[in-house]
Amino acid sequence: MWLRGLPTGFNHGFRPEGGFGGVHAGYNHQFDRFVVGIEGDADFGRVNGGFTIPIFRYDARKEWEASVRGRFGYTPTERLLLYVTGGVAFTELKYSWMDITGFFPPVDASVSKAGWTAGIGGEAALTHRVTARLEYRYSDFGTTRFDWPAVAGSYEQHPRFQSVRGGVSVRF
């Protein structure tokens, strides 16, 4: 937490929890054993977390995330693709600060963010048109500052998310 731009010495990390589901679409082109592609996705759900310090409660949540990424892969066998992916990510973060004594009015904010995402994964052909994938991704949305004018303070957060994703794709 920061008070009028000066550090208070308070540093608090927390681990939000939740889950997402979504859709993805993309295009791949194969050159011998190498695959190059572009992909986009949109995920919806809820990830939230927070903490309480003496008389204040802080909550944060994310209800959606989307990305547009490049993808580069290698096919060690005919039915398996191993790949790396990276690109731009988008989300909206919702914050709230409240005084649990009720003395100060609560504050809510909604902040749209763009950042970056990168990951690795594998995709296996189940049939000629259907594949299954497993992917790890890391997303970083820079720094967000959330102000609470009633207490002349603000809170800075560096929202970063790690996710393991599974999916099924149908080729057209």
CB-based contacts of 35: which residues, under 8 Å, 6+ apart? 28, 29, 71, 72, 73, 74, 75, 81, 83
pLDDT higher than threshold 50 for residue 35: yes
Q: Which residue has the tokens 């002349």?
A: 152
Work out the angle at residue 89's Cα, subtended by the Cα atoms of residues 5 and 14, and round it to the nearest 5 degrees. 50
pLDDT higher than threshold 50 for residue 25: yes
DSSP state letter for 101: T
Q: In whole angstroms, give the CA distance from residue 100 to residue 91.
A: 28
Residue 83 CA to chain centroid, in angstroms? 19
Query: What was the pLDDT predicted at 119?
Result: 98
- Burial category of 36 from C-beta neighbours within 10 Å (exposed 0-12, middle 13-18, buried 19 and up): middle
pLDDT higher than threshold 60 for residue 4: no
Percentage, residues of the chain above pLDDT 90: 56
Q: Which residue has the tokens 């995709």?
A: 123
Query: What was the pLDDT predicted at 14?
Result: 62
Query: What was the pLDDT predicted at 1?
Result: 33
Which segment of 7-16, 45-54, 103-112, 113-122 scores lowest on mean pLDDT?
7-16
Query: What was the pLDDT predicted at 122?
Result: 98
Local confidence band at 2 (pLDDT 50, 70, 90 cut-offs): very low
pLDDT tens digit sequence for 77-93: 999 999 999 999 999 99
Work out the angle at residue 166's Cα, subtended by the Cα atoms of residues 74 and 137, and round it to the nearest 5 degrees. 70
- Burial category of 15 from C-beta neighbours within 10 Å (exposed 0-12, middle 13-18, buried 19 and up): exposed
How high does pLDDT run on average in the chain? Answer: 87
* pTM of the predicted protein model: 0.84
Q: Which residue has the tokens 């102000």?
A: 147
Amino acid at 12: H
User: Which residues in the chain belong to E strands, given as ranges?
Assistant: 2-3, 6-7, 17-31, 34-53, 56-77, 80-99, 107-125, 130-140, 144-148, 153-157, 160-170
* Section 81-109 average pLDDT: 91
Local confidence band at 31 (pLDDT 50, 70, 90 cut-offs): very high
